[in-house]
């Protein structure tokens, strides 16, 4: 059975280079009859205008830890001021060719599920359904006291009311550089010092984005569901992740231990390269489009 097209075109080349094609052909052959578990990272979203954390050319960043966020009011104020700006950028990001390719693989019954380390919800926007948002979601906020969850857009309205003119003042100074977790750099300290953070409307508790900070553990149910996706698959495809943190690295290590092939497509080295049956050092979207167009749409459709 023939393959399928995966996405609308985006700016720039979506075709693999001549050097990449032989490796992609080997990957397609390895995965030809396999049901895939997919693990994705920030490198998948760079074609959507979301900067990477660790890819080649990325600006060095030091993400805030959970302990800093809850323990230091000044750092928490800085975080929310920058997040208020970065969120405005991230919410306008659209799925790219790679997201659409993976959604197409799912739609044709070729995946056991998608595990993403991204918080941008672009897999879901592209139409994927069976997704574990391993590190949480940028579009929700949780109260650490009463555990009430609100939308990030609702909080944005409240922060706008508390800080009229803040966004316009900062943006007038130049473009905002946003990180994959909606943090924003290059905000002046004197601007941050005037920023008023919001409290929970129900209990006046501390609000936190509903994603996992450094120093926090990924909830056990998400980890268990992710392992189940690997168990239900014949192979693991890693797309756009440097696998620097253990929350993602554990899955290729587990797949290799289980004797399942691991394919990694990522620009630059990863911490899990030693687990890979095949590694392609390249941008993600062209490779995923190539595979989506060549893997047989009927393989494993009843699994």
Whole-prediction pTM? 0.87
Residue 217 is predicted with a pLDDT of 94
Active site residue 99: no
The residues of the chain scoring below 50 in pLDDT are: 1-12, 55, 58, 298-303
Q: Which structural domains are found in the chain, ordered by start?
A: 21-50+95-135+218-294 (3.40.50.1220), 66-92+140-211 (no CATH)
Write down the catalytic residue from 84, 89, 108, 135.
Answer: 135
Which pair of tokens denotes residue 191? 């601007």
Q: Where are the beta strands (DSSP E) in the chain?
A: 36-40, 111-116, 131-133, 136-143, 149-151, 177-178, 184-185, 207-211, 235-239, 262-266, 278-281
Residue 82 is predicted with a pLDDT of 87
Residues 81-130: pLDDT tens digits? Answer: 989 988 887 888 899 999 999 999 999 999 999 999 999 999 999 999 99
Residues 170-194: pLDDT tens digits? Answer: 776 655 555 555 555 555 677 788 8
């Amino acid at each position: 059975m023939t393959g399928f097209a995966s996405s609308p075109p985006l700016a720039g080349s979506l075709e693999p280079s001549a050097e990449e094609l032989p490796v992609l052909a080997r990957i397609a052959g390895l995965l030809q009859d396999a049901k895939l578990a997919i693990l994705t990272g920030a490198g998948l979203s760079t074609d959507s205008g979301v900067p990477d954390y660790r890819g080649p050319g990325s600006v060095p960043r030091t993400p805030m830890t959970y302990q800093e966020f809850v323990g230091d009011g000044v750092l928490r104020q800085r975080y929310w001021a920058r997040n208020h700006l970065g969120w405005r950028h991230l919410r306008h990001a659209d799925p790219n060719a790679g997201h659409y390719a993976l959604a197409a693989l799912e739609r044709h019954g070729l995946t056991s599920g998608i595990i993403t380390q991204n918080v941008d919800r672009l897999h879901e926007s592209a139409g994927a359904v069976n997704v574990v948002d391993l590190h949480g979601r940028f579009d929700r906020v949780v109260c650490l006291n009463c555990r009430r969850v609100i939308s990030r857009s609702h909080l944005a309205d409240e922060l706008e009311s508390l800080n009229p003119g803040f966004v316009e003042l900062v943006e007038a100074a130049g473009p905002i550089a946003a990180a994959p977790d909606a943090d924003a750099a290059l905000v002046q300290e004197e601007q941050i010092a005037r920023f008023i953070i919001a409290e929970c409307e129900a209990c006046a508790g501390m609000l936190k984005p509903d994603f996992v900070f450094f120093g926090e553990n990924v909830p056990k149910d998400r980890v268990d569901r992710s392992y189940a996706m690997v168990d239900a698959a014949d192979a693991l495809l890693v797309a756009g992740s440097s696998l620097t943190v253990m929350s993602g690295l554990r899955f290729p290590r587990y797949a290799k231990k289980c004797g399942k092939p691991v394919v990694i497509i990522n620009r630059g080295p990863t911490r899990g390269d030693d687990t890979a049956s095949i590694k392609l050092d390249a941008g993600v979207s062209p490779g995923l489009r190539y595979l989506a167009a060549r893997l047989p749409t009927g393989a494993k459709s009843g699994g």
